[in-house]
Amino acid sequence: MSSYLVTGAAGFIGSHLCAELQEQGARVRGIDAFTDYYARNLKEENLACARDGGQLEFVEDDLASADLDSVLDGVDGVFHLAAQPGVRASWGREFEIYLRDNLLVTQRIFQACASRGIRVVYASSSSIYGDAETYPTTEDVVPRPISPYGITKLGCEHLARSFGRAAGVDAVGLRYFTVFGPRQRPDMAFTRLARAAVLGETFSLLGDGRQSRDFTFVMDAVSATIGAMRHGRAGVNYNVGGGAETSLREVIELLEDLSGHQITIRWQERVAGDVFRTASDTTAIRRDVGWTPTTSIRAGLAAQLHWIEATSRRDGDDVAVSGATPVHQR
């Protein structure tokens, strides 16, 4: 039985990964600092779901200062997902947090894994491409991030290469393309849209809605991540994308159709750092890891909508009545 450390275990993707690893029979230690990027109670709920898989050993600690000797004791491999996420918040003074939680923490993880000879699969991002030169984008396109967040993620990839050359670290990078599904972070568009559909909240749309993303269902991202630990090639960065590029307007139509309610939109200016389009070429991970995404955007959105409905009911929100207009009454 393998033993893994998952960093960012109380986060969106990390909590799903912990549950799936346990489901597959692995021993899992999770670590998370409950940073304040979003509410602690949501992360505690994520963690409760991560614990569903069996007997998660959980450590609450900050990876920028934690004693990594004890955190890594008995571990065969590390899934490093902890980070300060989000493109828009990475401008200005907040950048200090990105430097610390993304670059400094990743440097510590690589150093510690190199000296122990254990593999680390770490979360990079499609944000490293910026507005890419070509679509669908292959991994060899020159990365030109347009946000401070993307720059820190690209910095992690450079750290991996340097530690690979200097210290032999066995690191595999995963460039996740917009991950969605139940427990998606509250700042992300699908969660805000699903809340708008279910609870009648107004959705602030930044831009004209024609911007598109290659959306990836969270369990597909998780299977790519576990596959990369087993079969990924050391030193390689892989695109992880769901494969169906979809515009925000199309997502809104889908959600209105699935929920039966019209979404109220407040149109706003596009903001700095947001790319117009992402589309992944996933030939490399399909070839090396044997990974294929299996969940359509419609099926994944339905699962996310269901989750929002269930958690809103439990939290006592007024589900599907407060201001949302049923589509058939339009």
Ligand X SMILES: NC(=O)c1ccc[n+]([C@@H]2O[C@H](COP(=O)([O-])OP(=O)(O)OC[C@H]3O[C@@H](n4cnc5c(N)ncnc54)[C@H](O)[C@@H]3O)[C@@H](O)[C@H]2O)c1
- Of 138 and 264, nearer to ligand X (C-beta) is 138
Residue from 5, 6, 13, 226 touching ligand X (CB under 6 A): that is: 13
Contacts of residue 119, Cβ cutoff 8 Å, sequence gap at least 6: 77, 78, 113, 170, 171, 172, 229, 234
Triad 83, 119, 166: Cα angle to 5° = 90
- Window 178-207: residues binding ligand X (CB under 6 A): 178-179, 185
| Whole-Å CA distances, 57 to 3, 71, 91, 109, 298 | 11, 11, 35, 19, 34
Number of residues near ligand X (by CB under 6 A): 29
Task: Report the catalytic residues.
Answer: 149
Smaller CB separation from ligand X, 68 or 320: 68
Contact 214, 132 (CB under 8 A): no
Task: Tell the smallest beta-carbon distance from residue 224 to ligand X (Å).
Answer: 12
Contact between 11 and ligand X per CB under 6 A: yes
- Which string of DSSP letters, residue by residue, matches 235-304? T-EEEE--S-EEEHHHHHHHHHHHHSEEPPEEEE---TT--SB--B--HHHHHHH-------HHHHHHHH
CB of 37 or CB of 320, closer to ligand X: 37
In the complex, the smallest distance separating the C-beta of residue 325 from ligand X, rounded to whole angstroms, is 29
Nearer to ligand X, 19 or 31 (CB): 31
With contacts defined by CB under 6 A, name the span among 30-38, 159-167, 258-266, 315-323 that binds ligand X. Answer: 30-38
295: left (phi over 0), alpha (psi -120 to 50) or beta: beta
The angle at the Cα of 253, spanning 252 to 257, to the nearest 5 degrees, equals 115
Task: Name every residue whose Cβ is closer than 8 Å to that of residue 272 and which is 6 or more positions away in sequence.
Answer: 91, 146, 147
Residue 32 binds to ligand X (criterion: CB under 6 A) = yes
Which distant-in-sequence residues (6+ apart) come within 8 Å of 217 by Cβ?
A: 179, 180, 181, 242, 293, 294, 295, 297, 299, 300, 303
Q: Binder to ligand X among 18, 22, 30, 43 (CB under 6 A)?
A: 43
Q: Which of 4, 37, 98, 217 binds ligand X (CB under 6 A)?
A: 37
Q: Does 305 bind ligand X (CB under 6 A)?
A: no
Name the residue nearer to ligand X (CB basis): 14 or 200: 14
Query: Judged by CB under 6 A, does residue 155 bind ligand X?
Result: no
At its nearest, how many Å lie between ligand X and the CB of residue 323?
28
From candidates 176, 190, 217, 291, binder to ligand X by CB under 6 A: 176
Nearer to ligand X, 86 or 200 (CB): 86
Alpha-carbon distance of 185 to 86, in angstroms, equals: 10
- Which are the contacts of 39, defined by CB distance < 8 A and separation ≥ 6? 186
Closest C-alpha to 259, from 198, 171, 178, 191? 198
Instruction: Draw the binding track, 61-100, toward ligand X (x: CB under 6 A; -: no contact).
Output: -xxx----------------xxxxx---------------
| 105 counts as binding ligand X under rule CB under 6 A | yes
Mask: binding to ligand X, 227-266, rule CB under 6 A, as x and -?
----------------------------------------
**Residues found near ligand X in the complex (CB under 6 A):** 8, 10-14, 31-35, 37, 43, 62-64, 81-85, 101, 105, 123, 125, 176, 178-179, 185
